[in-house]
Amino acid sequence: MKVAIFDSGVGGLTVLYSAMKRMPYNEYIYYADLDNVPYGNKDKEMVNRLTLRAVEQIYDLGVNAIVLACNTATSISADLLRYKYDIPIVGMEPAVKPAVINSLGKRVLVLATELTLKESKLRNLINRLEATDKVDLLPMSELVDFAEKMVFDGDRVRTLLDQKFSNMNLSDYKTIVLGCTHFIYYKKIIEQYFNYTIDVIDGNQGTVNHLEKILQGIGKENNSRYKKKSVQYYISGKIAKLSVFEGYMKYLEILDT
């Protein structure tokens, strides 16, 4: 089975990491549009254009399914891509529903890029859950830039989080939703700000679960051909070496311990 995971940058590596743990015998393609990262501060037309171009290149590689490991790209382009292509397109969306269920009467904080927070898809989801009075939205696009530069901790990150959380009563919250795959690199730091009293959730596990069911449904699981984890990396359409992303994957292993 050949599965492609697409993101504007390195955030989608968190999805790749989870998918490889769950389904290690698939053949994976990781496509990062590093020439155009980040997507979260671009306008809708540009994000749509970049996503369509990337997915066209990925489709030509003969994949069986594509995961849009980018909340911004999903919110803007997923429906069009599903109409255009004859293979499963698996999208990401902020895990607001389980967060609201888990909130136990307290507030939910959704962290995402500006563009994801502006999109009607997220607003409609919150409205359907009748949770507009308990869900707060906070843009954190700066974390995307930090992640791309492998700045996972230190004064710059903590100064940003100090500023973002300075006017908030952190004790009001029960659950935080990481609405961007890049933000997962900062999960443990964010937990510190809330004295480890909150639940921090993301959409990765649900996405990987959905992907697994889809692959089972189309009957092309492969548990024997690829004895070792097989990944081919691409940067904006060009084959890339593992060394470009190796540090991120090792950091995810550390976070997983």
**77 is an active site residue:** no
**10 is an active site residue:** no
Helical segments of 60-130, H only: 71-84, 96-102, 114-118, 120-128
Q: Give me 191's structure tokens.
A: 């937990």
Residue type, 232: Q
CA distance 53 to 140: 26
Catalytic residue among 4, 47, 58, 70: 70
Catalytic residue among 95, 180, 184, 201: 180
* Burial (0-12, 13-18, 19+ Cβ within 10 Å), 165: middle
User: Which of 28, 8, 3 has the alpha carbon at shortest distance from 69?
Assistant: 8
Residue for token pair 């700066």: 142
Active site residues: 70, 180
